[in-house]
Amino acid sequence: MLPRFRNSATALFLFGFSQFAVCLSANAQEIWFQNPALFGEENVLPADPTPFGKLGKNVATQLINEALPVGNARMGALIAGDPAKERLILNEASLWTGDQNPTGDYGSMGAYQMLGDLVLLLPGHENPENYRRDLDLAQSLAHVGYAKNGIKYTREIFCSHPADILAIRLSADKPGGYTGTLALNDAHGASTSAESHALSFSGALRNGMKYETRLMVINQGGTVEATSGTISFKGCDSLTILVGAGTDYAMDYAKSYRGSAPGAKIALSLAAAQRKPYEALRAEHVKDYQSLYNRVSLDLGKSSQAQKELPCDKRRLEAVTAFDPEMETLLFQYGRYLMISCSRPGGLPANLQGLWNDSNTPLWNCDYHTNINIQMNYWPAEPANLSECHSPLFSLVLSQLEPWRKATAESPEFKTASGQPVHGFAIRTSHNITGGMGWKWDKTANAWYCQHFWEHYAFSGDKDYLKQIALPVMKETCQFWEGELKAEPDGKLVVPNAWSPEHGPTEDGVNYSQEIVWDLFNNFVTACDVLGVDHDYRNKVAQMRDKLLWPKIGSWGQLLEWKQEKKDRVLDTPNDHHRHTSHLFAVYPGRQISIEKTPDLAKAAKVSLDARGAMGEVKEWSYAWRTALYARLHDGQNAHSMFQHLFGTLCPNLFGLHPPMQIDGNYGITAAVCEMLVQSHAGEISLLPAIPAAWKSGSVTGLRARGNVTVDLAWKEGKVTDFHLVSPTPQPVKVRVNGVLKPLIPALSR
């Protein structure tokens, strides 16, 4: 991909500008392996394609860690890649059990479900030669290739957003190479119907949600027939398999989250796809995907030939201790690939596992966790230039507000000083897609969600969105906290009975909660100033913001996690290596504490972060968060160290491994790399604020800064050599380049 730098003689450039290329080898954006994904010992594929006895019940515990993921933000598949016994786990983002669940009981909240699987049996394809499977991030195409009996076989699989189907293409370099059987199995036990070239199943979950899946086979050469709930094919030159799926879910409380039965829409999508040549379907998919993916390129340098020759399951482990620049670039872009594949306008947001799930009883219900997980999923959306992929989060939140308000009003936990129900809504630690919540209340999750509403404006500059969508939710949340905050004897305001997830006691004034409420109030005040509205309430919120208790510095120079230091135990000591760094929210993703504006608190935050370290129970998402925190603290060396540690906590297929598989670390590290290269939270655009020594020279194009500015830059020896800023509207900005802060006006984007 060529950079977007353009010739210019204007004062926009602080340096003489020269063209440079972002050079990536052909496989630098591929995740590839020399073996198929493995199944657990208890899940060996049967000799015939009958439904699996344990389908949907923690069936392929190893498969999700090794399979290749594809998705169109609604449908998804996990591809095992076995030559003779291929299996694709199928998912549909809205297939959930559960309902509004007013009690908040976690056990009855419901869970994200596995849809089913597709099984392809090819007798005689066992033990092939030259096996390779890969996921091409640049085109969103998965491949399986091998040779058997002098024939080269290729599978290509993608999930198309414009066509709304999953497509599988089986081809070979000689005719007549495909003879076998195809099965489609429901994870909830419904029988499969077979007719001519088609398979289908449909059913309803215990909450009444209807679902359906249809499959169509198009063959070139040979014969195809339906037999006993399966499809048999013989002597085919090639096969194209198209899969459509859906539910009757509607993201609308007024309709009880139900819409039309899915069958008619699925049939239309399959019929339209069938009328197009495979090459046209493929080209349409790639063009649509690349319209998002190609916005950002990154070059961190060249990996060695020895590194490039390692498959990713081995290479990720080497990358923990040996700098592998193209592997680091790959992981950055993988987060963007997963975002595009999981989250598009009109759909649901990415959950704990994104879109992919191989179980109907997944750990933590594969839900939306509000104490960092769902938020981390969306950290890269704005800076990594995928702003529209952020919108499903807003759509889901808006669709849940009414049942959340009801649950909050009925809870004895939320009362004003007069004993009346507090205004607005709170959110428990977990929630589903139909108004239900589970586990304990995460009091400030409402305000943390509001940060995402604000950040979408901060990066996009869309005032209509700010006025119509973001500001009403932010104001309602401010009103909630107006009624919920508690005044201390000295007049300071604190969040009562708060928690520092998932760590320590519940008490007043926990800094995690204080910082998030400060962030809400500050963003609301700024939003009112931008729009010139609601002056009286804006001033009231500003006064409450300024009365909030701020974090303090402890006896060993640390930023306190609680209002008072916990000197009598491990908590709040240098020996506390908890996986969460909740009290550092104000550093990242917040902006209350920064090197530029609060240097003493920033120094204390670094003391706390250093103490948490890379030992103990640190998880994959912890490393991603700590990478971003060190970046905000301008410590590129430690940020890069956390990045490298993350490789050791990944699945073979580079999914995050909590365990089980969890996707937020993938998104978090993409966002963290953005913070290492460009920051814009402190009223200026800072280039290379946390560049590590290992990233000696490189370039990046297409990163986003707040104020609707797109940033391209190049560097050598850790110093910016060239850069270019563009914006759709003329505006003055401040840019810090190699330590020098200078004003300029970005070029107008075309």
Mean pLDDT in each 10-residue stretch from start to end of the chain (750 residues)?
Answer: 31 29 53 85 35 39 89 98 97 97 92 97 97 98 98 98 98 98 97 96 98 98 95 98 98 97 98 98 98 98 97 96 98 98 98 96 95 97 98 98 96 85 94 97 97 98 98 98 96 96 93 98 98 98 98 96 86 90 97 96 98 89 97 98 97 94 97 98 97 98 98 98 96 96 91
**Could you tell me the two tokens for 114?**
């596995």
User: What are 247's strand-pairing partners?
Assistant: 211
Tally of CB atoms within 10 A around 322: 14
pLDDT of residue 51: 31
Distance CA 59, CA 44 (A): 10
pLDDT of residue 421: 85
Q: How far is CA 34 from CA 83, 128, 133, 149, 652, in A?
A: 12, 11, 7, 19, 12
pTM for this prediction: 0.94
719-727 sheet: strands from edge to edge: 297-299, 698-705, 709-716, 719-727, 747-748
Cα-to-chain-centroid distance, residue 191:
34
pLDDT of residue 28: 80
| Residue at 382: amino acid letter | E
Q: Which of 225, 375, 373, 301 is nearest to 699 (CA)?
A: 301
SS (H, E, C) 221-247: CCEEEEECCEEEEEEECEEEEEEEEEE
H or E element, residue 621: helix 620-632
pLDDT of residue 11: 28
**Could you tell me the two tokens for 693?**
């020594």
Cα-to-chain-centroid distance, residue 12:
34
Domain 34-294 has CATH 2.70.98.50: yes
Q: Which of 288, 343, 306, 283 is nearest to 670 (CA)?
A: 343
Close Cβ partners of 252 (under 8 Å, ≥ 6 residues apart): 259, 399
pLDDT of residue 699: 98
Alpha helix stretches (DSSP H) within 299-346: 305-308, 312-318, 325-342
pLDDT of residue 13: 30
